[in-house]
Amino acid sequence: MLDGFKKFILRGNVVDMAVGVVIGAAFATVVGAFTKDFLTPLIGAIVGKTGDFATFSFNIRGQVFNIGDLINQLISFLLVAAAVYFFVVTPVNALLARMHRDEPAAAPTTKKCSECMSDIPIEARRCAHCGQPVAVSVAA
């Protein structure tokens, strides 16, 4: 029983995923600190408010809406999402495109009827839609 668990844990996928989660959490912490300590004071200076941007709020009928913290979290999310997209998704897509570049395109399985422009099988001798005879072509 423990041997199977050991094989599962030591597989490359599980270890890679665990490393990715730990690095992602650390990166999210760094982005959160960057947002809280640099970007939001910058926004506060531009807006003209002093103090912690996370405490920005407004009142409606005695209810307090804390908008500053929401904006902090939104900025952090957007920065993490952009980093994941540009540093993970884009390179992986480019690598996959490069790997599949040399694969030949699949042979077509249909052709157009010259009369009604419907798609018909390549081996067809007559169009199933209009009944027009068509030239027989053999699939490669």
- Is the CB of residue 68 less than 8 Å from the CB of residue 50? no
Alpha carbon 49 to chain centroid, angstroms: 36
pLDDT at 112: 86
Beta strand pairing call for 110-112 and 63-66: unpaired
- Judged by average pLDDT, the poorest of 32-36, 50-54, 96-100, 102-106 is 50-54
More confident residue, 18 or 62: 62
Q: Which helix (H) or strand (E) holds 65?
A: strand 63-66
67-105: per-residue pLDDT in tens? 888 888 888 888 888 888 888 888 888 887 887 777 777
Radius of gyration of the chain (CA): 30
Contacts from 65-70 at CB under 8 Å and sequence distance 24+? 68/40
In order of 6, 9, 83, 109, the CA distances from 2 in angstroms are 6, 10, 38, 51
d(CA 96, CA 10): 26
Contacts from 89-95 at CB under 8 Å and sequence distance 24+? none
Alpha carbon 56 to chain centroid, angstroms: 32
Which residue type occupies 53?
F
Residue 113: burial class (beta carbons within 10 Å; 0-12, 13-18, 19+): buried
pLDDT at 49: 67
Q: Per-residue confidence at 137, pLDDT binned at 50, 70, 90?
A: low
